[in-house]
Amino acid sequence: MQLSKRVAGVSYAIRGPLLLRALELEKQGVNILKLHIGNTQPFGFRAPKSFVDACVDGLESGKSHGYTHSMGGEDAREALVEYYRKRNLRFDVEHCFFGNGVSELVRLTLDVLLNPGDEVLLPSPGYPLWAAAVILAGGTPVYYYCKEDSNWEPDVEEITSLITKKTKGLVIISPNNPTGTVYGASILSEIYDVAVKNELVLFSDAIYEGIVYGETPYTAISSFGEETLCVHFSGLSKEFFGPGFRTAWACVSGVTEKNKGFIEGLYLLSSLRLSPVHPMLFGIPKVLSEGSDIAQHTGIGGRLREQRDACVRAFQDIPGLSCVTPTGALYAFPRVDVEQFGITDDERFAFDLLEETHVLVVHGRGFTWNDVDHFRITFLPSVSELTQGFEKLKKFLGRYRQT
């Protein structure tokens, strides 16, 4: 039995062959510095205790043992609407959907929107889930290329030039994974106008919306008006340090009255999976009313900011590397001088690095990038762990030549 053609066209390098090899080495007793994924728990970050306690209360009382509403309980959705009201974003309780991770909700919304052959504009570099979800929904990913010399921000003219009669949606990932760029308000306003003019659904992947480092304030693209349909995705996994809880939401805004079929389709597919995980939703009103403590980590002297700065210094110090300073999220996307190191295969570069230094990164083409000159790291480890890892990287590059 062979894979279906749609599944055969999907890849996810973050948990692909590189990770499998790293796990093999771990079984042999090798200590691997895992810079490949934004999993906060192994590096000492914890979800708020009040959230955990509320979830436990729901379990112990039995109140969260059954199914909840297919969209998520009304109390959780009301808390979500209030949470965003304080951030000057307007959503309706009946247009908010909870899901088991942003990944599930992305799949649901694209399944509702796309017919075979429909196109969705995606950023490159960008998170590979989006390309996979478009393909699995029968659509075609079309990439707009963000340029490094423009701090990885999109080119609005290029986006406009790629729109055809088949284009149905436009994806914005800000703060961006893998580059860490937070898109400025002016560029987002222009993109919003393009979406309105061409009646495109805007998909805003905002899972890192609270993780910014001060240089560029976060702006939600849905804040520019209600003239087109916009879906805002976020959740507990990053800002609230709860990736294992798989609790996320999608809030639909804009011309919802004109697009009732889209809302009805989301409700139908949400109902088919019965409900999101109920025990986790039991803690939503508590955690959203209190908010996160992310600012203490991203502000001057905060742990995440210090770790980011350590990365930037290291990439400035290592010959053959350069990097645009991340202004948000948990990642950096450094450039490698491919001529200096003779690199023609970035995945092989990552494998060689893993085998020799036991440092695990992800090659740039794993993020829908079309060249071999970048790789992505997360700066979640402590400064001392990162420093040790970068010393290994510097020594490795000092003698590396890909043949």
290, 321, 343 — which closes off a domain? 290
Q: Can you give the pLDDT at residue 216?
A: 82
**Same domain, residue pair 71 and 185:** yes
| Residue closest to 208 by CA, chosen among 268, 126, 320, 90 | 126
301 and 183 belong to one structural domain: no
Among 10, 36, 45, which residue's Cα sits nearest to residue 245?
Answer: 45
Question: What's residue 72's pLDDT?
Answer: 96
CA distance 27 to 320: 33
pLDDT attached to residue 28 = 96
- Amino acid 12: pLDDT: 85
Both 155 and 210 in one domain: the answer is: yes
The residue out of 260, 290, 320 marking a domain boundary is 290
Q: Three-class SS of residue 372?
A: coil
Q: Which of 249, 266, 290 is the last residue of a domain?
A: 290
Whole-prediction pTM: 0.95
Number of domains the chain contains: 2
42 with 54, same domain?
A: no
Query: Which of these, 271, 265, 272, lies nearest to 109 by C-alpha position?
Result: 265
pLDDT tens by residue, the chain, 403 residues: 777 878 888 888 888 999 999 999 999 999 999 999 999 999 999 999 999 999 999 999 998 999 999 999 999 999 999 999 999 999 999 999 999 999 999 999 999 999 999 999 999 999 999 999 999 999 999 999 999 999 999 999 999 999 999 999 999 999 999 999 999 999 999 999 999 999 999 999 999 999 999 878 999 999 999 999 999 999 999 999 999 999 999 999 999 888 899 999 999 999 999 999 999 999 999 999 999 999 999 999 999 999 999 999 999 999 999 999 999 999 999 999 999 999 999 999 999 999 999 999 999 999 999 999 999 999 999 999 999 999 999 999 999 999 7
Q: Which domain holds residue 131?
A: 49-290
168 and 216 assigned to the same domain? yes
Q: Residue 140 is part of a domain; what is its CATH number?
A: 3.40.640.10
The predicted structure's pLDDT at residue 361 = 97
pLDDT at 2: 79
Phi-psi region of 183 (alpha: psi -120 to 50; beta: other; left: phi over 0): beta
